[in-house]
Amino acid sequence: MEVNRHERLKRRFTIFALLQAFLICLTIFLSINYFGSTVWEQRTAIGLILVDARNDSGWPREITQGLQSACDGHHYNLYIEDKVPVDEANLERITKKMLGKNVKKIFLIGDFSSQAIESIAKKHPNVTFFTNSIEDSYADNIFKFSVRYHEARYLAGILAGLHTKSDIIGYIAPFPSLETYQDLNAFALGVQKVRPDIKVKVIWTEIWHSVNQENKALYLLQNAGADIITYYGPSQHIAQEAAALEVDYIDFHNIEDNSSPHCIAAIDPDWQTICDHLLDININKSLSKYYWRGMMDDVITLHLGPDISPKEKSAVLDSQEKILAGYPIFSGEIIDQHGITRCKTDTVIDNNSLRKGMNWLVKGVDIIETR
Amino acid sequence: MKRDNTSTATDKRMLSFVLQLLSKFIIFLLILIVIGLALHDKMTDSLNREVEKFNTTHGELISFYYYNLLTTDLDNMSNISGMITAGNISPANGALAIGGKGQLVGILDIHGNNFLGDTLPPETRIQCTRALQGEKGWKYYTDLGLVGMVPIYDGDNVRYVLYKVYTPEALQDINSPFHFSDKRDDEENLLYDKSTQQVVVPFTGYKESEFYDHDKDAPLGLNELLEKLGSKNEISIFNSKLSRDYLLYAASIPDSDFMIIGYREWRSVLTGITNIHLIIIWVFGLLVVLFCVFILYLFTNQVAAEESTALREARDDALRANEAKSEFLANMSHEIRTPLNAILGMNEMIMREATGSLKKYAFNVKSAGETLLSIINDILDFSKIESGKMEIVTASYSLSSVLNDVYNMVSYKASQKDLAFHMEVDPQIPDSLSGDEVRLRQVIVNILNNAVKYTQKGSVTFIVKARKHSEDELLELEFITRDTGIGIRDEDKDKLFSKFQRLDLEKNRTIEGTGLGLAITIRLTEMMHGSIAVDSVYGEGSTFTLKIPQVVEKNEPIGDFNSRIEAALKKDTYTESFTAPQANILVVDDNEMNLTVVESLLEKTRINIHTAKSGQECLEMIQDNYYDIVFLDHMMPEMDGLETLERAKHLVNSKCKNTPFIALTANAVAGVKEMFLSKGFVDYVSKPVDGKTLERIIQKHLPPEKIKIPAVGTAEQAHKQSPPAAPEASDTTDQQIDLPTAMKFCGGTDELQRRFLGMFVSRREAVCKQLDNDLQSGKIDDYTIHVHALKSTALSIGGVKLSECAKELEFAGNGYCNGTEAEKEEHLQYIREHHPQAVELYARLANEARERFGVE
């Protein structure tokens, strides 16, 4: 009886000791793996601040989607704040909120004022702010980015010149600015290349984005006889409205699968690739503080609609091939509306002049500005 | 054989124990090794990662070097371009100014055609366009080499592109700026172009080195580096599959497609950190050793625990053996006491009747018998003490009475050895005390007997003093025994009180004794809260000082003790203490001899004694007669004493409902008295009984009106008694009756011997018939009881051989009753074979009795 009890106690003790040893070993192994483990390393966090809703068509949706895909590819966390008012106080509040999530790079999409961005950037020198523009900035931690839209726009001009029946092409843009002049000049050069006689009517809506103003501009252009409409702006509203009015148009943003047959082409920047490049940029190591790439870098193209004629298509593709082979659009003799030679024969307008100095419109295409 | 088995079992047990220990130890060691390896891996891994981080900065530095190199070159070209634009230098001179050994220079127009210098292949057109757009930079072309281009402005616009080409040969020239002059020996770097996936600037001996991957025609670990580089600017990896001794690193050169790839010796990065690594490994190793030692220590303890288990088992065995010994001793006492009862009883008779030298002989018998009894008592006492059954019973007593007894017992022995025995008792000591009189007497007598025993000549002095404790009623009695004996050696003093220990054996070999005396003395003294001390000079004598606290009952001093002793000396012959002619007592015993002894001892008290030989007979008699006392033997066949009493108590017709029953037994082991009292006996007398004890007991339990105390002096009577017959000188080998033995048990009286012999022979047929019946009916337990009776009665009439034979049969009977089935058969066989022998011996004894003593 006694022996059994002793044996039982001994067995219990042995089991207890083994269990303890196992737990200790487990703890040791877990501790060994815990310390310095990469599992616990914090993922890089990226912030995106939008003035518009993230799903709004145009830049908000395109950049959000492109950045999300790029972050996924990099295994970064993306924090998005949309519908943010443009004032500095709100921008500051949202920035701080992002910093609380260990965000080191913030993308600002919308019509935030340059002063507000500069001010916020100076307050947070350890954060890199990416803004969708190619103007110069004074803060070291602001990185500007844009796409060489004018390269695709040149091709769009060729297509529009060949496609128009009324010989009037409508162009809607928010404000006259360096960016819109670049775009409009390239478009005009494209049109001029195939139809030097054609008019491009331009309407400035005088607002960054307004449905009413844009509808109004569209109505005016249609009434002025324009049978092809194109535009420059953050939203895709004009394209949708043109489709509804059954007017042919060249979209400034990506076209959806269910796009209208009136969309004869769309300027198609590859935001994911662009964002990939941007995420790879270490602002402290790069001399250049802006990113401005185009068709030769494969980040933008002109997406042609299915209903254009072979002739149109062939002309566009020929020109596209030349651009890809190194043809600079703003080269050779270019004279502005006032008869001033802006580019001599056998010279090329360099990027710097394009970014900072193109405050003129080319001669040769009748550009009618309407306000 | 058994010993061999035990030793083999122990060996096996030890072997399995050692194997168990060894396996546990190995398990522990393995766990430690596994943990150690995991720790080592983790440490190495962590170390490598830290090394990678350290080295990343190094790669960054190298890339910065290249970045500066390329940027400076472009800046130089921009300066020249500016000078050309400003017209400070002709395009041709400008181109020459940027050229060098192994370099091609020239100017391109906006269509990429050569304006000056060599025509460049069409793939340079894109770079040219970028330069035209104002982006100066470097590109690598596999067949052409490294090409740098800067724009040449005409006003705000760009008209030309100034270019410079480092041919592959120029790039490999160790004197070119792309090769470090102060490169360390433990590292190698190369410039790699990500867009063409070509090495732009290899280090010397690149293709022969271990860092060239022949299969892929690429730098070693390129894929791993590119994969890890991802979006980072610089990284470093240590991968033992790629290189065991070198760290690989890569760093992008900003604003270009180039990156540097480098290989750096692991140790050179670590420098002192390896020492930390080594220290940790070394310390862990030492900890493992320490842990092993600790575990070994634990295991050793376990071994010790295992041994202590073995010791405990051994102790239990020893305790069991000791119990068996105690039981054996207790049983032996029964065996010895039975004949001793007869001896002392008969001797008492002789002493009452005898005078002159016969009385002296009887006295010697008494002395020897008492010595034997005291030895048995010692053994019994010791077994009682050992089993914890010895109790100190406190009662009032007279110290003078105790001292009187002591004097009586010791002075005789002293006188036998011609020793002077002096006794000095302080007359102021209170006489009436409370304590255990019996044990006090025993302790004192033991010490005094010892003194007498070990003193050959001179004297034994016994001094009794007392000291009163003021705070309570206790009186500390001090008994000092001083002798002029052999003394005790200093080294023997410690052994003095241990059991079975006898000192100085060589000198004391003639002295009899069990060696238990002092051991019992010290235990009893301790039980009485006393102390004992010895002071001895070897060869001169010893002094034992015994101190025992006792409670004072009355403060009446003991007075002059010596005079009382003188008076006591004169009373040496037996006088009955009372007569009770109207008293009736019944003695029940299956042994007639014992009945006779009791009858004889009480003869002079004139009590009417009835006897019964069995419990049944007893029950019948108490229904017919009233008895004042019933003495009931314990061990009887069919119905033992306990059962008889039980039935007697429930007997309706009993005339002895209130009669005290007193147990009479030879089974005087520890605790038996309590057992009898609990069963309903009022008292208990152990056999052999002496006349005085018997008389005292009877006096105690008889109604006082039936007791008549004789007048002092008148009771003394002298009876002539013929001296005991001298042993017959004859050949005794064939004789069944050993006369000296018979005389011993019959108190040395011919008459009694013949009477007992007659009784014994007359019972022969009845006894034999009884035994035959028992055997035939298979009642071996009854047979054993009857043969037990035959054993003792045969011995008491000198039938030694018959007694021996009966004893063997009893032993076999006991073996049958208590043994296993196999043993039963064996014992039964023995009984069947030897029973006729016993019957025959009985017949021969009867024959001899008739022929030799004329007893029919």
Q: Which residues contact B492 (CB under 8 A, 6 or more apart)?
A: B503, B504
Higher pLDDT, B322 or A209: A209
ipTM of the complex: 0.87
At B513 the pLDDT is: 59
A129 contacts A108 by C-beta, under 8 angstroms: yes
Residue B401 has pLDDT above 70, yes or no: yes
DSSP for A291-335 reads EEE-GGGTSEEEEEPTTS-HHHHHHHHHHHHHHHHT--SSBS-EE
d(CA A326, CA B130): 8
Contacts of B42 in chain A (CB under 8 A): 32-33, 35-36
Q: Which of A74, A296, A328 sits opposite B231 (nearest CB)?
A: A74
Which tokens hold the place of B763? 């019972």
Interface of B with A in 234-263 (CB under 8 A): 254-255
Please, which pLDDT band fits residue B730 given cuts at 50, 70 and 90?
very low
**What is the helix (H) or strand (E) element at residue B787, kind and residue range?**
helix B780-796
Q: B interface mutation test: which of A22, A343, A346 has the most B CBs within 10 A?
A: A346
Residue with tokens 């995420």: A279
Share of chain B above pLDDT 90, in %: 12
A343: closest chain B residue by CA? B157
Length of chain B: 856
DSSP for B59-123 reads HHHHHHHHHHHHHHHHHHHHHHHHHHHHTSS-HHHHHHHH--TTEEEEEE-TTS-EEEEPPPPGG
Residue B471 has pLDDT above 60, yes or no: yes
Backbone angles phi, psi at A256, to 5 degrees: -80, 170
Higher pLDDT, B563 or B27: B27
Q: In angstroms, what CA-CA distances link B204 with A116, B194, B201, B207, B243?
A: 54, 21, 9, 8, 19
Stretch B440-467: mean pLDDT, rounded?
88
CATH code linked to domain B394-569: 3.30.565.10
At A321 the pLDDT is: 94
Reference B796, options B845, B755, B746, B838; nearest CA is B746
Higher pLDDT, B108 or B729: B108
d(CA A185, CA A329): 10
Low-confidence ranges of chain A (pLDDT < 50): 1
Contacts of A11 in chain B (CB under 8 A): none
Contacts of B110 in chain A (CB under 8 A): 328, 331, 346-348
d(CA B43, CA A36): 10
At A255 the pLDDT is: 75
- The verdict on a CB contact (< 8 Å) between A349 and B156 is yes
Q: Which residues contact A42 (CB under 8 A, 6 or more apart)?
A: A102
- The CATH fold of domain B576-706: Rossmann fold (3.40.50)
Contacts of A343 in chain B (CB under 8 A): 157
Please state which of the ranges A69-78, A178-187, B13-22, B228-237 shows the lowest mean pLDDT. Answer: B13-22
Q: Domains of chain A, with CATH numbers? A: 42-147 (3.40.50.2300), 149-268+298-370 (3.40.50.2300)
Backbone angles phi, psi at A241, to 5 degrees: -70, -40
What are the extents of the domains in chain B? Answer: 54-271, 394-569, 576-706, 739-853
Residue B582 has pLDDT above 50, yes or no: yes
Residue B796 has pLDDT above 70, yes or no: yes
Residue A331 at interface with chain B, using a CB cutoff of 8 Å: yes
Higher pLDDT, A181 or B335: A181
At A304 the pLDDT is: 92
- The verdict on a CB contact (< 8 Å) between A296 and B46 is no
Tell me: cis bond preceding B688? Omega within 30 of 0 counts.
yes
Stretch B96-101: mean pLDDT, rounded?
85
Please, which pLDDT band fits residue B427 given cuts at 50, 70 and 90?
confident
Higher pLDDT, B613 or A33: B613
Tell me the per-residue pLDDT of B659-676, one tens digit each, with 9 for 90 and over.
899 988 765 555 677 788
At B746 the pLDDT is: 59
Residue with tokens 């065995």: B317
User: What does the mean pLDDT of chain B come to?
Assistant: 81
CATH code linked to domain B739-853: 1.20.120.160
Tell me the per-residue pLDDT of B755-788, one tens digit each, with 9 for 90 and over.
778 878 888 888 888 888 888 888 888 888 888 7
Tell me the per-residue pLDDT of B142-193, one tens digit each, with 9 for 90 and over.
889 999 999 999 988 999 999 999 998 888 888 888 887 667 778 888 999 9
Interface of B with A in 33-62 (CB under 8 A): 34-35, 38-39, 42, 45-46, 49
Residue A40 at interface with chain B, using a CB cutoff of 8 Å: no
What are the helix (H) ranges across B354-464?
356-386, 399-416, 437-453
Please, which pLDDT band fits residue B728 given cuts at 50, 70 and 90?
very low
Residue B439 has pLDDT above 80, yes or no: yes
Q: Is B527 left (phi over 0), alpha (psi -120 to 50) or beta?
A: alpha
- The verdict on a CB contact (< 8 Å) between A343 and B157 is yes
At B668 the pLDDT is: 54
B47: closest chain A residue by CA? A36
Length of chain A: 371
A60 contacts A67 by C-beta, under 8 angstroms: no
At A347 the pLDDT is: 93
> In this structure, how many other beta carbons lie within 10 angstroms of the beta carbon of residue B811?
17
d(CA A364, CA B820): 137
Interface of B with A in 95-124 (CB under 8 A): 109-110, 112
Residue B460 has pLDDT above 70, yes or no: yes
